[in-house]
């Protein structure tokens, strides 16, 4: 049995020691692949998993592929199953929960969670600074400024370096104990070495968020299942934290930002930050004496603290400038913030300044401009979606909200319209959170004049005039005419979208344009576009035509799961598409599958199975798939044997053309060479793979004429080398 002899120090995770972890990972991965990790290495295995969790969740810079992580994780699960006595609460496997939570018991916070005083402009901040200087008797104060995250507040307690409790804010004095759900959030370390700072017990505060892109995805899923969408990421995060099934919580992709230490004890002595303390000799660092130092400590211990965002300034002028900078930039952040928080940096001074009954005197929130506005609802239009769903869209008097003019707001479905009691002519309150779609918060019936009109739902499709249909138990009316022009266009838009076939240069606008010109009537039409006629189009230069052509060509070899997702089968998202792609050798094999067989697939319930079954028993769909195959698309599973040498690129030749978006060309070439492949200088029959980036030119043209050359997108290439 191989013994690796990696010593794992309990209190000193070497998160910065890249070389150590790279070597440890590759040794353990090799053993894990053979299913032979020795029990003696169980601590090393846990340590390496924690390291990669931190790279992925906190630094956003993963060093290994998901599959490799999963393999290591499974190896740990196996060892722990064989040696259950070795399981500890901070093991990476111990996030995974089974069973449902009954109630969340009420628990008291160690220190009450006060709210902050608010300020809305520079004058408010100048005022506050003046008072703070009077109170401390100093002519200038150092302030720490950081973003104010717009999520659900939490408080965490660590004891002896282990996470022992997570609670909601509640009323500020007491909250709900949601430890089991907090453990599902991968950016919350289950163990953190506070003991290195001499800290024994600590209470820290933070905010749980869903980032904007996960929020959008989550709402899209809800829409697909005809459930009402969540109004904003804050509500989505708060709701997720109180779910009874911790497994569901883990699927929500929550993130936790920790930004405040409210209490800690050192060698048995309870103190609040700022009080002078004697440190035990065994500690590596002193506990910090500034708030910014605390943020840095949290970051160093593996928390997602705002270390990168925080700044310390002397005096208020720079603080105001930084707040304005952040406000201008808020839409570019991946998560929602609703303001900034300014704190006196010195913890000793904080102590001296104290607090009122409502809020601390040493901190203030600077609130960004509200993203709400009132407007008049003028009319409601009905849009037809990809699956025939009819969505009411409110047209309102254009109104600026957070720097964007809003004139049209989705009302989702009939129930939402009824629930919100909306009428045409109503004054409505509209909110827009970041790049999240605007929505109507409520109408204002108290200012009605009596002239308002009810919103009438159509009985027939506004585009094709077929009778509409509402399945039982659903909130959405549908046009079930498969040839309804509105649906055809939406299907094509979905087919070419980024997560589907990723034909970027053929976006929504072009699809509509080509459809109207009569050049693009259905999905297979993408592959027979009359490019010779394009020169007559405004804004279509020679270069953009070549770009479009090569993007379309490259999409033909997209992996099968992308094609399945692109087909837009109802209820089949990216995950189910991947399951389906791994199940059959050829997509048309599904025509032979019975409903009961589909139900045996992972995560496929009756609703999903029924939808897949219907899709593959519809002659129009099968005809389309055969057409696509004739046009050269891959309808077969990309099997390991199709990838040379079962993953290694031995004896395979590559050439790159165009600009790659996710790496430089020399990095890509190095990847090929690392795996035993070679790089050719030009297109010839000796070439196996041409990888196409943006603006690919003559090499692609030449390669298309040699049928033995496989043309790959950058993503397909990355999929291939990561296997
Ligand atoms: Zn229709």
Q: Residue 146: which residues within 8 A CB-CB, separation 6 or more?
A: 259, 295, 306, 309, 310, 311, 340, 341, 343
Average pLDDT estimate for 518-541: 87
Residue 459 Cα to ligand 1 midpoint, Å, equals 11
Measured CA distances, 326 to 142, 209, 254, 341, 367 (Å): 19, 18, 23, 11, 11
pLDDT tens track for 247-298: 888 888 899 999 999 999 886 555 545 443 334 444 567 789 999 999 999 9
Query: Residue 267: its pLDDT value, please?
Result: 63
Q: What pLDDT shows up at residue 15?
A: 57
What is the CA(316)–ligand 1 centre distance, in A?
Answer: 60
* Total-model pTM: 0.62
Q: Three-state DSSP class for 166?
A: strand
The pLDDT tens digits of the residues spanning 315-333 come to 999 999 999 999 988 888 8
pLDDT at 5 (0 to 100): 39
Do 436 and 212 form a contact (C-beta atoms < 8 A)?
yes
pLDDT for the residue 494: 94
Ligand 1 mean position, distance from CA 397 (Å): 28
- CA 618, distance to chain mean position in Å, is 35
Q: Which residues are catalytic?
A: 148
- Reported as a single tens digit per residue, the pLDDT across 99-144 is 677 778 889 998 888 888 889 889 999 999 999 999 999 999 999 9
Measured in Å, residue 213 CA sits from the centre of ligand 1 at: 30
Q: How many Å lie between the centroid of ligand 1 and the Cα of residue 388?
A: 7
Report CA(620)–ligand 1 centroid distance (Å): 17
Spatial strand order in the sheet of 269-271? 162-168, 152-159, 199-209, 255-266, 269-271
pLDDT band at 643 (very low <50, low <70, confident <90, very high): very low
Note the pLDDT tens digit of each residue in 490-527: 999 999 998 899 998 888 989 999 999 899 999 999 99
Q: What's the 391 CA to ligand 1 centre distance in angstroms? A: 12
267-271, 290-294, 300-304, 568-572: range with lowest mean pLDDT: 267-271
* Torsion on CA atoms 93, 97, 103, 109, rounded to nearest 10: 20
Rounded-to-integer distance, Cα 381 and Cα 465, Å: 15
Pairing state of beta strands 653-657 and 118-119?
unpaired
């Amino acid at each position: 049995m191989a013994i690796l002899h990696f010593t794992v120090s309990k209190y000193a995770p070497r998160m910065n020691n890249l070389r150590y972890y790279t070597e440890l990972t590759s040794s353990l991965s090799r053993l894990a692949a053979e299913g032979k990790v020795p029990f003696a290495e169980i601590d090393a295995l846990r340590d390496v998993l924690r390291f990669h969790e931190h790279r992925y969740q906190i630094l956003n810079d993963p060093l290994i592929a998901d599959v490799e992580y999963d393999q290591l994780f499974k190896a740990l699960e196996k060892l722990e199953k064989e040696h259950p006595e070795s399981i500890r609460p901070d093991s990476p496997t111990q996030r995974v929960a089974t069973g449902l939570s009954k109630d969340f018991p009420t628990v008291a916070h160690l220190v009450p969670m006060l709210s902050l005083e608010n300020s809305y402009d520079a004058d408010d901040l100048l005022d506050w600074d003046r008072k703070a200087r009077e109170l401390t008797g100093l002519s200038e104060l150092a302030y720490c400024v950081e973003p104010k995250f717009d999520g659900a507040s939490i408080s965490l307690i660590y004891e002896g370096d282990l996470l022992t409790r997570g609670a909601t804010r509640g009323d500020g004095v007491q909250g709900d104990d949601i430890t089991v759900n907090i453990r599902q959030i991968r950016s919350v370390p289950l163990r953190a070495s506070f003991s290195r700072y001499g800290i024994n017990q600590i209470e820290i505060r933070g905010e749980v968020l869903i980032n904007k892109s996960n929020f959008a995805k989550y709402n899209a899923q809800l829409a697909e299942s005809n459930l009402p969408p969540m109004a904003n990421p804050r509500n989505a995060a708060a709701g997720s934290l109180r779910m009874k099934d911790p497994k569901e919580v883990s699927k929500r992709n929550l993130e936790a930002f920790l930004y405040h230490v409210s209490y800690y004890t050192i060698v048995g002595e309870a103190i609040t930050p700022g009080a002078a303390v004697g440190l035990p000799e065994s500690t590596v660092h002193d506990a910090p004496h500034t708030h910014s130092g605390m943020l840095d400590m949290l970051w160093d211990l593996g928390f997602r603290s705002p270390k990168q965002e925080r700044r310390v300034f002397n005096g208020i002028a720079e603080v105001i400038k930084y707040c304005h900078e952040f406000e201008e930039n808020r839409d570019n952040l991946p998560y929602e913030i609703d303001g900034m928080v300014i704190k006196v940096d010195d913890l000793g001074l904080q102590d001296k300044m104290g607090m009122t009954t409502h809020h601390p005197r040493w901190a203030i929130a600077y609130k960004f401009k509200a993203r709400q506005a009132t407007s008049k609802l003028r009319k409601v239009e009905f849009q037809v979606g990809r699956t025939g769903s009819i969505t009411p869209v409110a047209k309102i008097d254009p109104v600026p909200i957070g720097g964007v003019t809003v004139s049209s707001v989705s009302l989702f479905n009939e129930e939402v319209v009824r629930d919100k009691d909306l009428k045409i002519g109503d004054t409505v309150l509209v909110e827009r959170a970041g790049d999240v779609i605007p929505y109507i918060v409520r109408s204002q019936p108290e200012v009605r004049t009596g002239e308002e009109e009810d919103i009438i739902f159509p009985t027939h499709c506004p585009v094709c005039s077929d009778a509409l249909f509402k399945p039982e138990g659903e909130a959405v009316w549908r046009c079930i005419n498969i040839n309804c022009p509105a649906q055809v266009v939406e299907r094509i838009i979905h087919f070419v979208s980024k997560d589907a076939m990723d034909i970027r240069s053929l976006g929504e606008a072009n699809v509509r344009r080509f459809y109207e010109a009569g050049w693009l009537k259905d999905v297979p039409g993408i592959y027979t576009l009359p490019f010779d006629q394009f020169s007559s189009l405004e804004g279509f230069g020679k270069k953009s035509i070549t770009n479009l052509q090569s993007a379309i060509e490259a999409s033909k070899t997209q992996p099968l799961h992308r094609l399945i997702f692109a087909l837009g089968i109802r209820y089949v998202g990216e995950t189910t598409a991947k399951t389906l792609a791994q199940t059959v050798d050829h997509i048309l094999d599904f025509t032979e599958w019975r409903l009961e067989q589909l139900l045996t697939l992972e995560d496929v319930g009756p609703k999903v199975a029924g939808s897949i079954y219907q899709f593959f028993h519809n002659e129009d769909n099968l005809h389309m798939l055969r057409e696509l195959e004739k046009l050269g698309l891959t309808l077969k599973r990309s099997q390991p044997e199709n990838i040379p040498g079962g993953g290694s690129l031995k004896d395979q030749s590559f050439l790159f053309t165009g600009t790659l978006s996710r790496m430089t060309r020399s990095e890509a070439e190095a990847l090929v060479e690392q795996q035993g492949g070679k790089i050719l200088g030009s297109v010839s029959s000796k070439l196996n793979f041409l990888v196409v980036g943006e603006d690919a030119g003559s090499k692609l043209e030449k390669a298309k004429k040699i049928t033995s050359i496989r043309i790959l997108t950058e993503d397909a290439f990355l999929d291939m080398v990561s296997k």
